[in-house]
């Protein structure tokens, strides 16, 4: 009789137990990270495949937007709903620089303001007991005449590293690691990582496309894998929730 009572008590407690707490990973940044419209396909932001590499306890909320800089993301009110909804234990992955560094763009942000903005993201995330992670702007595809990849974000990537060091923030260096990836694929092979299309190859780009900034599906997945490797190397608790494929 006692065993039956214990059995039914266990069922009762199981039925009314709280669901497991989910961890939310917020992504804020620019077009290299963002979710793409169907009309842009096969252009792919690295945040899209990234969201599929975690177990069911992790929810990825990609708030990155095309063309945004660290300044315009704040000015346009895109940061406000993120920080208002942060919970203790959430992660905020912060990747800006592409649009901050171009002086001819309306999104241009001076180096001083860029540093201030990154520091604000970090401090406001921490105030909500969330975990900020800084990422340097991911590398573009650019080679010199000898086939050696060139850095195009040197100044602003350095600023990200400095903010990370000064504020003891986890850092994933997508600029240097991205350059290494592009170099490994080579001048011709690296085109497959980006939105390079011949005329008539895809209906969304009937005249073709040569884009050395935005990724193909392959390139986005490779960058997502770099971020996942960074999470593991940093030994963030989030690493425990990265999906592990079944071994054959």
Indicate if the alpha-carbon torsion angle 149, 199, 217, 247 is positive or negative.
negative
pLDDT, tens digit, 9 for 90 and up, residues 20-68: 578 999 999 999 999 999 999 999 999 999 999 999 999 999 999 999 9
CA nearest to 97, candidates 31, 25, 36, 170? 31
Cβ atoms of residues 159 and 113 within 8 Å:
no
d(CA 154, CA 169): 19
Residue ranges for the chain with pLDDT beneath 70: 1-20, 244-248
pLDDT, tens digit, 9 for 90 and up, residues 57-71: 999 999 999 999 999
Give me the residue label for tokens 């997508």: 174
- For residue 34, CA distances in Å to 53, 67, 131 come to 16, 10, 20
| Structure confidence at residue 20 (pLDDT) | 53
| Structure confidence at residue 181 (pLDDT) | 98
What's domain 23-240's architecture? 3-Layer(aba) Sandwich (3.40)
Report residue 208 as tokens: 């073709």
d(CA 21, CA 58): 9
Would you tell me how many other CB atoms lie within 10 Å of the CB of residue 115?
A: 18
| Structure confidence at residue 17 (pLDDT) | 44
Cβ atoms of residues 46 and 60 within 8 Å:
no
Residue 24, strand partner residues: 59
Q: Where are the domains of the chain?
A: 23-240
pTM score, two decimals? 0.89
Would you tell me how many other CB atoms lie within 10 Å of the CB of residue 247?
A: 4
- For residue 4, CA distances in Å to 13, 54, 107 come to 14, 39, 67
Measured in degrees and rounded to the nearest 5, phi and psi for residue 170 equal -55, 135
């Amino acid at each position: 009789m006692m065993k039956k009572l214990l059995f039914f008590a266990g069922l009762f407690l199981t039925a009314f137990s709280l669901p497991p707490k989910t961890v939310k990973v917020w992504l804020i940044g620019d077009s290299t990270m963002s979710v793409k419209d169907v009309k842009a396909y096969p252009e792919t932001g690295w945040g899209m495949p990234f969201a599929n590499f975690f177990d069911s306890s992790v929810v990825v909320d990609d708030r990155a937007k095309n063309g945004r800089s660290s300044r315009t993301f704040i000015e346009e009110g895109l940061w406000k709903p993120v920080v208002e909804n942060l919970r203790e234990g959430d992660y905020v992955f912060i990747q800006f620089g592409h649009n901050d560094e171009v002086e001819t763009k309306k999104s241009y942000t001076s180096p001083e303001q860029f540093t201030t903005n990154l520091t604000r993201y970090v401090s406001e995330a921490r105030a909500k007991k969330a975990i900020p992670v800084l990422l340097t702007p991911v590398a573009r595809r650019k080679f010199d005449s000898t086939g050696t990849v060139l850095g195009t974000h040197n100044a602003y990537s350095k600023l990200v590293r400095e903010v990370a060091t000064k504020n003891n923030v986890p850092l994933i260096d997508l600029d240097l690691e991205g350059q290494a990836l592009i170099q490994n694929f080579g001048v011709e092979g690296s085109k497959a990582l980006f939105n390079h299309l011949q005329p008539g190859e895809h209906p969304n780009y009937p005249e073709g496309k040569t884009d050395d900034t935005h990724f193909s599906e392959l390139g986005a997945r490779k960058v997502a894998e770099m971020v996942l490797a960074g999470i593991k190397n940093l030994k963030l608790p989030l690493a425990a929730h990265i999906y592990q494929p079944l071994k054959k």
